[in-house]
Amino acid sequence: MIVDEVIQDIGSGLNYNRKKWNKLIEEVMENKIDTIVITHQDRFIRFGYEWFEKFLLQFDTKLLVVKNEFLSPQEELVQDIISILHVFSCRIYGLRKYKKKIEEDEEIAKSIQSGIKANKATATAN
């Protein structure tokens, strides 16, 4: 097999807003791609793999998985749950930078605090 182009896209298989991913989808829809070769199914697209494979076939594009691991349904479910936990824990960790920015801006911090106090006062009055 001759490979015309290698595309490496760092990102989660849950994130569909990747620049190279979107370019690849556009090229598929323009019938510019015959075959997509991937190393691991879950690194390309985490959920909806079967749907995506059918989508590609609508544009006469084949999907070839080089390292196709056959897992039991239980093993597959465990891997999916771990992947979901990892993605969302990274998102929560990423929110720390915004907390620091808010604390640095006293005006925003005070307005948030007064809003919280107003909500508590309203809750106790009811």
CATH number, domain containing residue 32: 3.40.50.1390
Torsion of CA 49, 51, 54, 60, to 10 degrees: -70
Is residue 54 situated within a structural domain?
A: yes
Residue 34, domain extent: 1-70
pLDDT of residue 64: 85
* Average pLDDT, rounded, for the chain: 75
For the chain, the straight-line distance linking the first and the last C-alpha, in angstroms and rounded, comes to: 71
Q: What is the pTM of this model?
A: 0.50
Count up the domains in the chain and report the number: 1
Is residue 9 situated within a structural domain?
A: yes
Is residue 108 situated within a structural domain?
A: no
Q: How far apart are CA 112 and CA 30, in angstroms?
A: 49
Is residue 102 situated within a structural domain?
A: no
Is residue 66 situated within a structural domain?
A: yes
Is residue 106 situated within a structural domain?
A: no
Per-residue pLDDT of the chain (126 residues; tens, 9 = 90+): 777 777 776 665 556 677 888 888 899 999 998 998 887 776 677 667 788 889 999 999 998 888 766 767 787 778 778 877 877 777 777 777 777 776 667 777 677 777 666 555 555 555
